[in-house]
Structure 1
Amino acid sequence: MLPFRMKTFLLTLLGVLSLHLARAQKQYDVLDWKANVSLNTALIQQMHQQYAGRRTALSQALASEAGVRAYRDSARARFRRVLGPMPAKTPLKATVTGTLARDGYRIEKVIYESTPRHRVTANLYLPAGAPGKLPGVLLFCGHEAESKATESYQKTAILFAQHGFVVFVIDPISQGERYQLVDAAGQPLTRGGTTEHTLLNSESALLGTGSVADELWDNVRGLDYLLTRPEVDAARIGALGNSGGATQTAYFIGFDERVKVASLCSYVATGERVLELTGASDGCVMVPGLGAARLDVADWPLMFAPQPLQILAGRFDFVDYNIIQDTYAELQQAYQRLGQPEKVSLFTYDDGHGISQPKREAAVQWFRRWLYNDNQPVAEGALATLKPEELWCTKTGQVATAFKDEVLLPRRNLAVAAELARQRKKNGPPQDLPAAIRRQLGLPAQLDAPVTVEWKGEASAKDNITLRKLIIRREGQVPLPALLALPAGEAPVSKVVLWLPEQGKRRLADSTALLHSYLRQNYAVLLADLRGLGETTDPEALNDKKFYNAEYRNALLALHLGQPLLGQRVVDVFMVLGFIGQEPRLKAAPVEVYATGRAALVAAHAAVLTPRLSRVWLGPGALTSFQQILAQPTARDWYSLVLPGVLRHYDLPDLTAALGPQRLLTTANP
C-alpha cells in the first residue's frame, strides 16, 4: 500500500497533467460555444423547416375531403419513391414443415421464399373446424429476439384464432430464425435485432434499397402466401403489430391496398419529435430521404384512410402519449372529412409499452367489428404458449444453417453490387460524373456562394510557429473552424496546403517539423475541421454503440434530410476554397489537399467537382470502393460514408480515373 502522502501527491500530479493536456488541446479550438453539438443543432433546424412545410400542407388538406384524398395519395406516391425499386414476384415455394395440434386451433410451420432462396419463417394459426372461409390477419413482430415465439405475440395470435381468424405471424430479418449476419456456425456476429437491421440498412442503401424495403417485401409475399390458403377470405384481410411490428404494419398499410382493417400498438406517432429528442432509430425504421419527401411517421396511418384503423396506446409508454393524442386528433379530422369518423379509434390502457391483455382484447374486438360485423367485448382466458424451439420452422433454428443455398442479405447485396459493376463497365465511364456526384451528394446549386471570415486570435504552437484562428461562415451552413500558418513576409505564397485530418486540426497543429518544412518552401498551411470532425465531433454518449457508428445520429439525420454527411462535408471544402479565393496572399496559389479517414472521400469527391484542388492525397486506409462496405458489413462507421443508390451510378474507381495519377495520390506519406 502507498503511504497517504504519496497517494495524494500522485493524484495531484495526475490532475495537473490532465489539466495541462486539456489546455493543450483547447488552445487549438476556435469556436467559443459548445461546438460539439453544432452539427446536430443545424440538422435539427433543417428537419424542423422540412416538417413545417409538411404541417402546412396537412393543415390545408384537412380543410376538405378532396384535400385529404389528395394528401393521402401524394403521401403514398412519395413513400413508394423513397423506397426505391421493389423486386419482381417469384415463386414462393412455400412448404409446411410441421403442424402442432392445439386446443381449438392448430399451428402450421411455414417457410416461403420472398425472393429466390431468401427464406422467411412464419407460424400460421388456424381455427379448428370453422366452416367456410375466414378472415386472414398478418401479425408483425416487434424487436424481440424470439420474434414470432414471443409470449405476447403467441397470445395475440391464439386469441385471434379463438375468435375466428387465420393468423400469419412472420419472423422479420435479424430475429427469430432469420439472422443474416452470422458466422459459419450460424451464430450472430452482432448483438442481433436492431444492430443487424442498421448494418444491413447501411450497405443496402448503397444499392438503392434498405431494411425497410426488405421487411416490407417479406410481408407482401407473406400476404401472397396467406391468400393461397383455401381457408382465407381474400376480401377480409387485416394487419396489426406492436412496437417495431407496428412500424412494419404502418409501412405495410401505406403500401399494400389489400388490407381492409389495421391496428397499431405502441406506435411512435411522430418521427420529428423522436429525431430531436433521442436521435435516429434502428435500420428497420430509417429510410433515407423521408424528410426531404416531407413524410413523417404520422403519414402512414393517413395513407390508410378511410379504412378501419385502431391505435393501441399505453398511457405510461415511453412513446409520448401527448403526441399520440395529437396524431389521433389529425386522424379524426381526416376520417371526418372522408365521411367515416367511426372507422378510426384510440384505445388507451394504463400500462406501458407492449401489446398487453387489454390491448389484445381491444384489437380482436376491433377486427371482429369490421370483418364479422360483431362488436361484442372480447375476454381473454388462460392461454398456453410454447417454447421458441417448439415453433421453429427449420431443423436448426436458423435459415442460415438449415439451408446450404440460403441467400442471406449480405450475399445478395454483394451479388447485386457485382451486377451493377458489370453494367457500369459495359456502359463505360459516367458521361457526366460531376452531375452524378451532385445528385448523389444532395449538393446545393451554388457551391461557390460567398463566405465571410471571422478572425479569432492566435494559437502558438511549438518552435515559434503561429497559427491564426479563423471561422469560415456561409449563410445556411455550419461554421467551419480552421487554423492558418503563413510564411514570413507579405508576398503571395507558392502553394496552399489544406489538411483535413479525420481526427481534426489539432492532430497536425503540433507537428512542428512538418509545418516548418511547408513554411520554408513558402507554402501556407490551412488546417480545417469539417463539420462533425475535430472540435465539432458529436459527443460519444449521444450515439448508441449498438449502431456501430460514432456519429450515428447525425449521419442518419443527414440521410433523412436527403443531404448525406459526405455531401455536407464537400460543401465545407468549397467554403474553405471560398476563403482561399478571397485572401490576397493565397488566392493565386495552387491548392493541395491532404485528407485522412472519413475526410478522404470528401476530398476525392470535391476534387472531381473543381480543378481548384490541384492535387489530392488520400491517407492510408482510405476507402477505394463502396463495395468494401458490402464486403465488411460489421465494420464501424460506414454510415458516415453512405450515399443512397450510389452504386447504380458510380463507384470510387470512377473518381480515381477522373482525377488521374497526376492529381490523385495515395502514397503512405505526403
Structure 2
Amino acid sequence: MNFSVFPEPFERMVPDFLKNVGRSYHQKYALPQDKAEWLRWRHELRENFRKSLGEFPEEKCPLAPELLGVLEREGYRIERLIFQSRPDVYVTANIYMPTPPFSPPSTGGKGEGLPGVLVVHGHWAQARVDPAVQARCLGLVKLGYVVLAVDAFGSGERGTTPGVAEYHGSLLGAGLWPVGTPLLGLQVYDNIRALDYLCSRPEVNASLIGCTGASGGGNQTMYITAFDERIKVGIPVCSVGTFDAYIAARNCVCETLYRGITYAEEGDLLALVAPRALMVINATQDSHVFSVGEALKSVETAKFVYRLLDVEKNIKLVAVESGHGYNQTMREAMYGWFNFWLKDIGGGSPVAEPSSEPEDPGHLKCFPPIPPVDGGEREGGNRPAKVVPIVEFAYRRARELTAKYTLPNTQQEWLAQRQTLRNAIIEEVFGGFPAKTPLEAERREEGKMARWRKRLMIDDCRLSIEEQALNQQSTINNQQSSLPPCPLASSEEHLLMEKVVFTSEPGISIPAVVLRKRDGDFPKPASLFLHPEGKAAALSTPLAGELLRQGQVLMAIDLRNTGETKWTGDAMGDAKDHDSARASIWIGRPVLGQWVWDVIRALDYLVSRVDVDAKSIFCVGYKETGLAALFAAALDERIALVLTQEALYTYVAKPPFQNQPMGVMLPGILQYADLPQIAAMVAPRRACIVNGVSSDGMPVSQEVLTSAYQWTESVYRLLGVKENFQCPAGISLPCKDIPLLE
C-alpha cells in the first residue's frame, strides 16, 4: 500500500520552519538609544531572562559548607568541600587557595582579601576535576586568585550513578522541563550560591570576583555574569555565537534557554554585563555555532551598549588560532584580563602561565573511590543522598507539585478550574497557538497534484458527496493506490482513498490520507489517527481496520516531523528528536504543543467535509502521539471520544525518561497539571486510556494505571458521567468489550 502524499520526503520542512520562526523575532529587537532607555530596556530583558530560568527557591537556604579534605601544595592548597544550594541539594566543589592567603599588593590597593574566580566546566568527561579544567584553576591560584571550581548539576560527582561519568543533556536534562526547572536555570542558581560561598570566605575580597569557563562552561559564564552583578569580570570561552545559529543546530540541553530567541539575541544578554568587564574568547577552527564570525555579531551588539555607556574599552573579543577548548593561549589571555580588572596589573595583555602539574582527579573528588571488602575500588565512595542527581531532583519536585492538586467539590468549581488549566496550558506551557490561516487543503494523487487542484477552505467551501465521488479516482481495486487485504475489512469492499495536504500554519504542510467506504449513507462518524511513525503505521493498526469496516470515515495524518516530514538528522544519543525539540524550546513552542495545533487544524479540515458527522469525531493516538490526542481533546470539544494507547501515563518520573521523545517534555506542565488532570479536562466527553507506559517507556500494570487515573474518574463521577471514562487492559476486536467504541 502506498500512502505517500509528497513526491519525496519533505525532511527540510521542520528545520526550515524552526529557523524561520526564530528569525521572525529579529526585527522586534531594538537596542536602546540613550542611557534612560537603556535602563528600561535592561529591566525588561532581565525580567524575561529570569522567567526563562524557571523556578528559583523563594528564600536562600543556609550554605552549610562541609570541608571534606585538604591537599597541601607549595604556595597553595586545594580543599575538597560541599555546600548546600537548595534544601537538601549539595554541590561538590574544590577551593584553590593561595598560601599565605593574604597579600595586599596583589589586589592593587582595592581592599583586604584576594580576588576570587568562579570556574565552571563544560562537557569535560571528569567535570571540575578534569585535567583540562584543573589547568586554569592551577594557573589562577599561582597568580594569587582564590578559585572555586564546582560540578554542574548532573555532571562529575553529581551524576546518577556515583563515580560514573554521565552526559547531563538529551533526555536526562530534558526530564527537568516538566517540573519547571530547566537544567540551565539549575546551573545559574547553583552558580549564584557558589558566589555566595566564594564571597563568604574571609580570604576573598567580595568586590573582586570573576568567572570563566569554556564551551558549556562558557555559556554558564555568560548567563551567570549577565544575571549576577557581583561578578566584575566575565570571560566566556568557545561559547559565544548567536541564538540564530543555535536553532536547528546541535547543542546541549544545558545551553537551551526557554523562549530565549523570542525576546533577545545573544548579544543582548552580553549587553546585560555592561558596564562590567567582558572578554569573549573564540577559536578560529570551531563549529559554526561558536565561530568567530557568529561571536563577532553578538559582541558588536553588546559593544553598542558599552559605547552608549562610554565604556567600550570594557569589552573585548579575542580570536585564537585553534579548535574548540580552553588551551594555554586562551588561558594566558584570561590571566591578563583578570589581572587588569581585578588587580590593576598590566594593560590586559596575555600573561605567561605558571608551570603546574595536574592532580590525580581522584584526589580532588569529594567522595573518592574506596576499597570494598572484596578488593578493588568502588567509585563514588560514600556519596551521601544529599548530593542529588537530576533524576532524583526532578522526581522530588514532581511529587511536591502534584501533591498540591486539589479535586473540585462541585461542578461549578471544576468548570472554573478547567478554564484556568486551559488558559495556562495554551499560553504558559504551549507558548500560545498561532493565528488560524486558510487551510489551503489540496487533494493529491500518487504524490502529484490532481489536475483540477481543488482547494478546500474551511469557511467557504464544502464539497458535496457527489463532487467527492466524481473527483476521487482511487478505489480499493485500483492497483496504483490500492490497500492490501485487511483482516478486519473485506478486500471485496470498495474504498475511496484521498491524499490530502493542508496548511497547519505558514511553513508547515500536513500530509494526510482519508479512507471511507465508497457507498453508504453520509455523513458518518470520523476517526482521526495519529502514530509516531506516520499515517501509514496508523492505518495499519487493527483498530483502524475495525472502524473502517464499521463504516467510519478514517483520516490519518503525519504530524510535523513524523512520516513524510521526518527530519532524518534530528536524533542525538537517546533522543530521536533532539535537535527539533531543543530548537522548539528556544522559540517557546514545545513540539507537543505544535502537534496539538496540527490536530486542531486536522479537525478544521474534517468538519469541513460533508461526509463527516462533525458531532461524532474520534481521535486515537499511539505512543507519544497519544499525548497529542489527549491534549487536543482536552482543549477542543469537537473531539467526542479520545483514545490513547501505549502513551506516557504521568510526568512524575521515578526511573529516568527513556524511549520517549524529548518533544513531549513540556516546560512547567506539572506546575499546573499532570496527565490525569488533562484527561479529566475531556469530561463529560468520552476518554479511554489503554496500556499506559512509564517514564522509561515500559508498560505499567493495570493496577498502577487505574490508581493514577482515580483523579480523572472522580471528575467524571462529579459530572455524572462516570461511564464515559475507562482504563481498559487492552482492546479486543470487534470492540464490544469497550462500550465507548461500540
Aligned partner of 1:659 in structure 2 is 682
Greater Cα shift, 495-504 or 136-145: 495-504
State the one-letter code of the partner of 1:646.
I
- Deviation track 1:553-579 (CA, whole Å, cap 9, x = no partner) reads 112212221112111111111211111
1:288 aligns with 2:295: no
Classify 1:501/1:361 alpha carbon distance in 2 versus 1 (closer, same or farther; 3 Å): closer
User: Is the alpha carbon distance of 1:389 and 1:587 closer, same or farther for their aligned partners in structure 2, counting shifts above 3 Å?
Assistant: same
Report what 2:448 is aligned to.
none
Distance 1:576 1:431 in 2: 24
Q: Secondary structure at the match of 2:132?
A: helix
What corresponds to 2:6 in structure 1? 31
Aligned to 2:391: 410
Partner of 1:3: none
What is the aligned partner in structure 2 of residue 266 from structure 1? 238
Match of 2:317 among 346, 349, 354: 346
CA distance in 2 between counterparts of 1:320 and 1:414 reads: 38
How many angstroms apart in 2 are the aligned matches of 1:645 and 1:594?
Answer: 25
1:535 alignment counterpart: 564
Code of the residue aligned with 2:174 in structure 1: it is S
How has the CA–CA distance of structure 1 residues 441 and 333 changed in structure 2, closer, same or farther, with 3 Å as cutoff?
closer
Q: Which residue of 2 aligns with 1:16?
A: none
Structure 2: which amino acid aligns with 1:402? R
Instruction: Look up the SS of the partner of 1:86 in the other structure.
Output: coil
How far is 1:401 from its partner?
Answer: 4.1
**Distance between the aligned counterparts of 2:613 and 2:440, measured in 1?**
15
Matched, 1:558 2:570: no
Counterpart AA for 1:363: M
- Cα distance in 1, alignment partners of residues 322 and 260 from structure 2: 31
SS of the counterpart of 2:202?
Answer: coil
Q: Structure 2 CA distance, aligned partners of 1:418 and 1:427?
A: 20
Task: Report what 2:352 is aligned to.
Answer: 379
1:461 partnered with 2:483? yes
Q: Return the TM-score normalized by structure 1.
A: 0.87
1:347-404 CA deviation, whole Å, 9 max, x = no partner? 2222222222122122111111112211165222421221101112224487684214
What does residue range 436-515 of structure 1 map to in structure 2 within 5 Å?
436-439=424-427, 440-444=429-433, 450-457=438-445, 458=474, 459-462=481-484, 463=491, 465-476=495-506, 478-489=508-519, 491-509=521-539
Residues 570 and 580, structure 2, Cα contact 8 Å, conserved in 1? no
Do residues 201 (structure 1) and 189 (structure 2) align?
A: no
The 1:401–1:338 alpha-carbon spacing in structure 2 relative to 1, beyond 3 Å, is same
The structure in which a higher percent of residues are helix is 1
Shift of 1:316: 2.1
Q: CA deviation at 1:490?
A: 7.0
Three-state SS of the structure 1 residue aligned to 2:351 is: coil
Is 1:79 the equivalent of 2:79?
A: no
From the superposition, tell whether residues 53 and 307 of structure 1 become closer, same or farther in structure 2 (CA, over 3 Å): same
Distance 1:299 1:200, change over 3 A: farther
Structure 1 position 526 matched with structure 2 position 555: yes
CA displacement, residues 602-638 of structure 1 (integer Å, 9 cap, x when unaligned): 111111223321111212x2222221xx223141324
2: distance between equivalents of 1:578 and 1:160?
A: 63
1:40 aligns with 2:15: yes
In 2, the alpha carbon distance for the partners of 1:515 and 1:349 equals 60
Flag structure 2 segments of 5+ consecutive residues without an equivalent.
104-111, 371-378, 446-473, 475-480, 485-490, 690-727, 736-742
State the partner residue of 2:301.
330
Distance 1:356 1:516 in 2: 62
Normalised by the length of structure 2, the TM-score is 0.79
Secondary structure at 1:485's aligned position in 2? Answer: strand
Q: Deviations over 1:280-303 (max 9, x none)?
A: x112111322123x2333333211
Cα 1:330–1:538, aligned 2, differ >3 Å: closer, same or farther?
A: same
Cα gap change, 1:626 to 1:404, in 2 (>3 Å): closer
Three-state SS of the structure 1 residue aligned to 2:272 is: helix
Deviations 1:77-121 (A, max 9, x none): 211011122123111111222222222222122211112332212
Measure, in 1, the Cα distance between the counterparts of 2:684 and 2:286.
Answer: 58
> 1:4: which partner in 2?
none
* CA–CA separation in structure 2 for the residues paired with 1:357 and 1:262: 18
Partner SS state of residue 194, structure 2:
helix
Given that 2:634 and 2:681 are in contact with CA atoms closer than 8 Å, whether structure 1 keeps it comes out as yes
The reply on whether 1:98 has 2:78 as its aligned counterpart is no
Query: Equivalent residue for 1:297?
Result: 266
By how many angstroms is 1:137 displaced? 1.0
| Structure 1 spans left out of the alignment, 5+ residues | 1-23
Match of 1:307 among 255, 273, 276: 276
Report the count of equivalent residues: 621
**Contact in 2 for aligned 1:29/1:535 (Cα 8 Å):** yes
Distance 1:517 1:77, change over 3 A: closer
Contact 1:200 1:210 in 2 (8 A): no
Q: Distance in 1 between matches of 2:115 and 2:386?
A: 35
| Residue 647 of structure 2 is aligned to residue 622 of structure 1 | yes
What residue in structure 2 maps to residue 5 of structure 1?
none
| Distance in 2 between residues matched to 1:406 and 1:349, nearest whole Å | 37
Q: Shift of the alpha carbon at 1:331?
A: 2.8
Describe the shift of the 1:516–1:348 C-alpha distance in structure 2 as closer, same or farther (beyond 3 A): closer
Question: Does 1:222 pair with 2:186?
Answer: no
2:629 aligned partner: 603
Deviation at 1:304, TM superposition (A): 0.3
Kept in 2: contact 1:178–1:399 (CA 8 A): no
Tell me the distance in 1 between the aligned counterparts of 2:545 and 2:330: 71
Residue 169 of structure 1 corresponds to: 149
- 1: CA distance between counterparts of 2:582 and 2:669? 16
2:57 maps to 1:111: no
Indicate how the Cα distance of structure 1 residues 121 and 533 shifts in structure 2: closer, same or farther if over 3 A, else same: same
- Once the 2 structures are TM-superposed, how far is the Cα of residue 502 of structure 1 from its aligned partner? 2.4
Q: Give secondary structure in 2 for the equivalent of 1:362.
A: helix
CA-based RMSD of the aligned residues comes to: 2.4
Q: 1:84 to 1:427 in 2, by over 3 A?
A: farther
- TM superposition shift of 1:483: 1.0
Q: Which residue of 2 aligns with 1:18?
A: none
Cα distance in 1 for partners of 2:35, 2:284 equals: 31
Q: Percent identity?
A: 27
- Look up the equivalent residue of 2:362 and give its one-letter code: E
Cα distance, 1:351–1:405 mapped onto 2, change above 3 Å: closer
